[in-house]
Copies of this chain bind each other. A is one copy, B any other.
């Protein structure tokens, strides 16, 4: 069918990284879920690094599309920022996709260079998009730069706290501070 082995591997790896982390998941457990041998995964992805890069790039490109969609659809920059919060909440609740990047960010010092570069690009994508919306809303360049980092720290810290406390409400409480930053 359309769902080939390669795509299934990426999806399983995504889930595994989100829940347990990059260095904790194994080719052998992925292979077992797919009904093949671990050596077969190396046919699709020569090394674990290649697979990790693909997972990160996969998610980043999907987020980029979503961000472009919001910015194109919603002319009010403050409303666009509210939509970003909604995306983060959904991703956090349903899939674990958002968590992939929080996991990789925490592990970053242990990751191969290629994945580190991918994560750096992920930060830049988010920070630049948030700062652009803040600029549109009338803030100065300096203010936008600072506030973008504060908002993103709240998003990441809120996700980690909700996970650490095993309490989705944690994220929502933290998001109230984001609202205040957006509308001030």
| Across-interface contacts of A170 in B (CB, < 8 A) | 149
Answer whether residue A181 sits at the interface, using C-beta atoms and an 8 A cutoff: yes
Residue of B nearest to A104 (CB): B164
Instruction: Map CB proximity to B onto A98-110 as digits: 1 under 8 Å, 0 otherwise.
Output: 0000110111111
Q: How many copies does the complex hold?
A: 2
Grouping DSSP codes into helix (H, G, I), strand (E, B) and loop, the A interface class, with mixed when no group exceeds half, is helix
Question: Which range holds the interface residue count of chain A?
Answer: 35 or more
Question: What's the least CB distance linking A17 to chain B, in Å?
Answer: 10
| Across-interface contacts of A152 in B (CB, < 8 A) | 157, 161
- Which of B19, B106, B120, B181 is close to A160, meaning CB atoms less than 8 Å apart? B106
- The reply to whether B150 and A154 form a contact with Cβ atoms under 8 Å apart is yes
Answer whether residue A155 sits at the interface, using C-beta atoms and an 8 A cutoff: yes
- The reply to whether A177 and B150 form a contact with Cβ atoms under 8 Å apart is yes
